[in-house]
Structure 1
Amino acid sequence: MTIVTNRKHLWFFGLLTLIICSNVLLYRLDLMQPLPNEVALGTLVDFMIIIPLLTYFFIIRKRYSLKSLLFVVLAGYAAAALIVPQGYFSSYSFVKYLLIAGEGAFLLVELFIVFKLLSKLPAIFLFYKKKENEIPAFSYRIEQALAHHMKTNRFLEIISSEISMFYYSLFSWRKKPVIDGQVFTFHKKTSAVAFYIMLIHALVLESIGFHFFLHSWNPIVAMVVLLLNGYGLLFFLAEIQAIRLVPFILTDHHLYLQVGMMKRLKVPLEEIKSVHYYQGPEKLTREETKQLFDAVLPDIMKEKPSIEIEFFTNQEAKMMYGFTKKVNKVHLRPDEPHEFLNFLQRKITE
């Protein structure tokens, strides 16, 4: 399966490179000149139809939402606009307006969802407060509060992820770690927090220096990069706080495993087949990681997991922005592995 996937990616990037290079050379080589204006239509077809179709069949199909194709088409038009000399586009300016109309329609749908969300905010807030003592961590509570009052979709899941990120990065600094149920920290014996602080330090220095360099070339690009770096800074702050404030939580009915902002897993105790010390290799193959929930924190030198948990049936792990993954086992490294193992074994036996 891994060989097949790698072959698909190689075919995709090979065909993508062929299409892009052939179009670039078409306009840059002197021996191809002069070109008729209609050649721009061929480039638009390549970048707005052929490349999105290749992306669908090789990348998106059965994995991501079809909405992702819209962004591929928009990126294709932007790439075509960079490659094609300006004079050739004069006859096809209507394409830009068609894209704007399509993007506008998509934006209206998203704004309608935002309007519904705003109209139900009081009810969502009440539900959130009601579940404060039942659901142990903010990310789980806000997701359930939104899902209870609105139909779940990818846009709503993105909003849920964004709310969680801004909460942890800006509004959680006076909060104390979760203590409901039996909790087990997993960051105190690692350098994960120091690792993210190092990334923040590098990001801030890069933002200052790179911004002035880009600003002298293109102020708009400089501002976009600065905003992206600011978003990255908030994400790293949220990651630190989520790691600190949300340990592994074991209640009477569920095991909650949240690893920073990026992923989390809620497992009913009756679905746990076994829990034991991990005796496997330090590095796993890609095939072995496909159905694995890796709850070991990233570190300067990533440690080998100490505990492995296996399930009777596949469980759905939640990733950031609504992505999911089916998993049948977990690797983790709590600060007190012996205590965690004994307590969980006792719980699933009961």
Structure 2
Amino acid sequence: MTFLRLFATSRMAIFILIAVLLISTEVFVTHTPAFSRHPVGLSVAVLFDLVFVTTALFYWLVARPLRLANSRLVVVALLMLRIALFILPKTAFSSDKIWPALLVLAEGAVLILVVLRIRTITKKYQFLWKETDRQTALRDSLAAVVSKRAADVIIGEGLTLYYVLVGWRLQSDLPVEARAVTTYRQSGQVALTAGVLIVGLVEGVVLHVVLSRWNPTVAFWVTALSGYGLLFFVADIMATVKRPSYLTKNYLHIRLGIRWRARISHSSIADVVPIHDKPSKQADRLNGAFLATPNVLLTLHEPVCVEGPYGIQKTVRQLSFFVDDRTAFIQALNEQKTLN
């Protein structure tokens, strides 16, 4: 016990010494002429060094060897953030720049925590993906390290980048003996999405030019958000093509791009009928068609939870969407209902 205390004290002393040296260095940096010329960039660097570097040092020098709880890392990170904001000049950040920078730092902290716990995440994922789909397995694996809300955000952003960057190279994601239920061939969704992207690019350029004359910073962030919105459209159509809905012996697996997904047992389907217009809005009804008019309406015996991006959930009793081969789809569902 005495050795453990001495071990902890010596490691903590080393960490405190390094932290003090780092803080002293950052104080010196804030008083250099270079800092006055580039206050925003160097302020972000100071925040990164004091928050991320010191927290990582605490993890490797103290927390990991002694197997301390992750809450200690959070305490250290918050303490160093407070110190960083104290030593930074008040003029270093304007009000419209500090919050985006802090948001980036917060996301970076979550990603660093994920990297540090990658072994735990991997083991959890290998256990879960055998019982559920890969997306759910990855989300639940991340939730074991970070909060469920943070895991939903990471998966939401990750799916968007994943399908944008490599979606065109993917093969159709269907389990063995599953029957695909495509939604894009007859709906015109691909052409409509391409049209939206072209119009969005043109409007984004015009809006950026107009806003930049008023406030360049606002113009930058509005353009960045608009660009991210367009990436969402690209990712959604890629997921729609490469990751269609499908039927198995016991379930209808709804996968509508990166927007909505659900697993509905055949026994829970009360009725399935063809429709020609978009149904009116109701609290327990969801329209899953995107840039198209739905042609199928599912009615369920009991409400089910449909999952959307970034952890959004909606409990519905009716679901409408577009199916390419509507007749065959309705017939297959009716046959499965009879068997079950």
Same fold (TM over 0.5): yes
Distance in 1, matches of 2:109 and 2:234, equals 31
Distance in 2, matches of 1:103 and 1:185, equals 39
What does residue range 51-62 of structure 1 map to in structure 2 within 5 Å?
A: none
How far off its partner does 1:275 sit?
Answer: 3.3
Are 1:170 and 2:165 matched, yes or no? yes
* Aligned counterpart for 1:326 among listed residues 315, 319, 329: 315
TM-align CA RMSD = 3.6
Match of 1:37 in 2: none
Distance in 1, matches of 2:141 and 2:332, equals 30
How far off its partner does 1:252 sit?
Answer: 3.2
Distance in 2, matches of 1:234 and 1:171, equals 13
How far off its partner does 1:246 sit?
Answer: 1.6
SS of aligned partner of 1:310: strand
User: Runs of 5+ in structure 2 lacking a partner?
Assistant: 1-89
* Paired residues, number: 246
What does residue range 151-190 of structure 1 map to in structure 2 within 5 Å?
A: 152-180=147-175, 181-190=178-187
Change over 3 Å in CA distance of 1:106–1:226 after alignment to 2: closer
Distance in 2, matches of 1:213 and 1:114, equals 35
Distance in 1, matches of 2:170 and 2:136, equals 16
Change over 3 Å in CA distance of 1:276–1:340 after alignment to 2: same
Is the Cα contact below 8 Å between 2:163 and 2:238 reproduced in 1?
yes
Change over 3 Å in CA distance of 1:212–1:296 after alignment to 2: closer
User: Runs of 5+ in structure 1 lacking a partner?
Assistant: 1-92
SS of aligned partner of 1:284: coil
SS of aligned partner of 2:187: coil
Distance in 2, matches of 1:266 and 1:200, equals 31
Change over 3 Å in CA distance of 1:111–1:178 after alignment to 2: closer
How far off its partner does 1:161 sit?
Answer: 0.8
SS of aligned partner of 2:272: strand
Q: Alignment identity in percent?
A: 21
Are 1:257 and 2:258 matched, yes or no? no
Match of 1:297 in 2: 290
Distance in 2, matches of 1:146 and 1:163, equals 12
Match of 2:10 in 1: none
Match of 1:275 in 2: 271
Change over 3 Å in CA distance of 1:234–1:340 after alignment to 2: same
- TM-score, normalised to structure 1, is 0.60
* Aligned counterpart for 1:338 among listed residues 327, 337, 340: 327
Match of 1:118 in 2: 115
- TM-score, normalised to structure 2, is 0.61
- Which structure would you say has the larger Rg? 2
* Aligned counterpart for 2:280 among listed residues 273, 280, 285: 285
Is the Cα contact below 8 Å between 1:249 and 1:255 reproduced in 2?
yes
Change over 3 Å in CA distance of 1:119–1:204 after alignment to 2: same
Is the Cα contact below 8 Å between 1:256 and 1:267 reproduced in 2?
yes
How far off its partner does 1:101 sit?
Answer: 12
Match of 2:13 in 1: none
SS of aligned partner of 1:117: helix
Match of 2:138 in 1: 142
Distance in 2, matches of 1:172 and 1:131, equals 24
